[in-house]
Structure 1
Amino acid sequence: MSDKLPVLAITSGEPAGIGPDLCAALPEAGLPARLVVLGDRELITRRVLALKPGLEVVDYQPWLPRPEHALEVLHIPLRAPAQAGVLDAANGRYVLDILDRAIAGCKSGEFAGMVTAPVHKGIICEGGVEFSGHTEYLAEATHTPLVVMMLVGGGMRVALATTHLPLRAVPDAITRPLLTDVLRILHKDLRAHFGLPKPRILVAGLNPHAGEGGHMGREEIDVITPVLDTLRAEGMQLAGPLPADTLFVPHHLKNGDAVLAMYHDQGLPVLKHASFGGGVNVTLGLPIIRTSVDHGTALDLAGTAQADPGSLFAAVQLAITMALHRRARAC
């Protein structure tokens, strides 16, 4: 097994947002990896000079050793001039150029994984490209039929059975096949990327009090419990369905390595309360490693030196950990 540091692609995201600012802070974190920032070299240099005037920006040259105390940039040219805080639809395609290069590098093995700074979905769509988010874009680019969103932070890992759906659509979306596939992906990636040989997963019910024996809904009886029984017979360690209002107390959490929530706002408010600004979004089920910050583009903070890089640092550290676990399993 190689002792070399993992090489990670850091996508700088929306050029008018705080992504380039956050990237400028990376060398100060002292993270154990070779971090390659993907984006327009002039733009990133300009932000570095304004925010970290003593930091050197160098071109990424993979055949040379990692430079010390410098920011490595793989140049992806802007489609139009960029100004901090001012969106321009002409650069929607630039943001996707960055993603495409990072994906290609991960698929080829050039990069051990990718960490994404925030993008602005609306401005990409205004630029003429239908874009619903990083997760969907990565799934399509890697021909992955189903991916699972998981947030990590505050001592918790919380995965979602469904993501961005209207609440009235959630019960119909939670089917036995979907829940089975989501749990298999979660179980597989907790083993492969988090070093958990026998992951313990706490599964939330959908209804209040987990349906209370059918008096508050039958999804637990008709869908969730049969799936859990089948997967337990395959050897998975699954607890539930558990009432979501008490699942996140320490008594339950100490017995689990991850939580599966049934919908977005069932699981994420608790985790974000515990870790906002330092949480990490992970896309499970992909053939590549991808982590992300847990916040948006913060246009009002771009270029002001007020953006907090904590979530980016945490996302990079988690990507490093995942890459090392994957490397160890391959040896």
Structure 2
Amino acid sequence: MVKIGISHGDLAGISSEILVKSVKKLPKAIYIIYGSSKAIQKAQTLLNEKFDLIQINKPEEAKKEGFYIIDLFDEDIQFGKPSVKSGKASVLFLQNAVRDILDKKLNALVTMPISKEWIMKAGFKYAGHTDYLADVSNIKEYAMILFCNKLKVGLITTHIPLKDVPKNISKEKIISKIRLINEELKQKFCIKNPKIAVLGLNPHASDNSNIGDEEEKIIIPAINQLKNEGINLIGPLSPDTAFINRKDFDIYIAMYHDQGLIPLKMLCFRKAVNMTFGLPFIRTSPDHGTGYDIAGKGIADESSFLYAVKIAKRLINKSC
């Protein structure tokens, strides 16, 4: 039986509500939540929704389909009121879940939203899930991918200030990330010859170096080398028009976070999934954040989480 681990995320956010709303809609599997039973119980009361949640100490104890919890935090945290305490708790959940998936006690991991602000205030040295997962997995190359049924986007840089983007892209980085993305699309999504669109960094992809020169000096040389290796790609494309013909491509490679995620979330908000390519295990996540502003109101949308679980389960059972 497939075992899917779920890190509870920030208890002050909407994760507990989403988990409770999702139980009756999830496909059959063993689900192990690394989190707080107290928070789940609060969400059950909020939504007037009850289900059996079996407490265990380790994944090996879960032997039949259903919902289990490894209870790691017994303090009360109010929905909508994040703190250093909620930040520490979300890190604790993540660390325990990652330990078990690295030990191959889980088949996949779905990570619920955490707050970059509060995990860092709690002493966590990483800006989010992706860098942490790559570090503890001892991998040098990885890529943040977000996708829905209408669009896939890969990022060259992730959670850094916009002013730092130009100095954080290089020919070598673009080449290594696109190589990885190309191979993962083949292996995980069974796409035999991925069609990859590479965006420029500057408006109009620099308009022949009239608006910046990163395209000429960095992006075009990287594209040419990858083409010589037989990778099927085109670019650099002008970012303002590139997504018009999105059906022509299997994935877009964006130079920075918002360049790729704005079109994705306009097309697929609440129905997209975050995934990390390059990890030695399957990890997916909803496309939204902690939702502090709506936490405890009973109105959170579980669609993205359900899609994240669906994709994780599909990847576990994939056969190209």
1:136 alignment counterpart: 131
Structure 2 counterpart of 1:306:
299
Identify the residue that residue 20 of structure 2 maps to in structure 1.
24
Find the aligned partners of 1:104 and 1:86 in 2 and give their Cα distance.
Answer: 28
> In structure 2, the residue corresponding to 1:135 is in which secondary structure?
helix
Distance 2:17 2:262 in 1: 27
Distance 1:170 1:127, change over 3 A: closer
Matched, 1:102 2:100: no
Q: Structure 1 counterpart of 2:72, which letter?
A: I
Secondary structure of 1:56's counterpart equals coil
- 1:64 and 1:315, CA in 2 relative to 1: closer, same or farther beyond 3 A? closer
Q: Which amino acid aligns with 1:77?
A: F
Q: For residues 189-214 of structure 1, give each alpha carbon's deviation from its aligned partner in whole angstroms, at most 9, with x where no partner exists.
A: 21222222221111112222222223
Match of 1:66 in 2: 64
Corresponding residue for 1:316? Answer: 309
Partners of 2:20 and 2:256 in 1: CA distance: 35
What is the DSSP-based 3-state SS (H/G/I as helix, E as strand, rest coil) of the residue aligned with 2:241? helix
Aligned residue type for 2:43: R
Q: Cα 1:157–1:89, aligned 2, differ >3 Å: closer, same or farther? A: same
Q: Is the 8 A contact 1:194 1:321 kept in 2?
A: no
The answer to whether structure 1 residue 185 and structure 2 residue 183 are counterparts is no
Unmatched 5+ stretches in structure 2:
none
When normalised by structure 1's length, the TM-score is: 0.88
Secondary structure of residue in 1 paired with 2:317? helix
Q: The residue matched to 2:6 in structure 1 has which SS?
A: strand
Distance 1:244-1:88 versus aligned 2 partners, 3 A rule: closer
Quote the Cα distance in structure 2 between the aligned partners of 1:62 and 1:111. 9
Deviation digits for residues 159-195 of structure 1, max 9, x if unmatched? 1111223333222222111111111121122122222
Q: 1-side partners of 2:175 and 2:71: how far apart? A: 42
RMSD: 2.1
**How far apart are residue 65 of structure 1 and its match?**
4.2
Percent of aligned pairs sharing the same letter: 32
- Report deviation, 1:216: 2.6
Is 2:254 the partner of 1:258? no
For 1:39, which of 35, 46, 54 is the aligned residue? 35
Residue from 41, 44, 54 that aligns with 2:50: 54
Count of paired positions: 318
Q: Quote the Cα distance in structure 1 between the aligned partners of 2:55 and 2:281.
A: 24
Does the Cα contact within 8 Å between 2:199 and 2:255 map onto a contact in 1?
Answer: yes
Structure 1 residues not aligned, in runs of 5+: none
- Distance (Å, rounded) in 1 between the aligned partners of 2:302 and 2:134: 26
Over residues 66-97 of structure 1, what are the superposed CA-to-partner deviations in whole Å (9 max), with x where a residue is unaligned? Answer: 34xx532222234x332222223234332222
Give CA-to-partner distance per residue, 1:43-86, whole Å, 9 cap, x none: 3233223324332222356455434xx532222234x3322222
Structure 1 residues 212 and 300, CA gap change in structure 2 (3 angstroms): closer
On the 8 A contact 1:8/1:34 being kept in 2, the answer is yes
CA distance in 1 between counterparts of 2:144 and 2:297 reads 31
Q: How does 1:283-298 map to 2 (within 5 A)?
A: 283-298=276-291
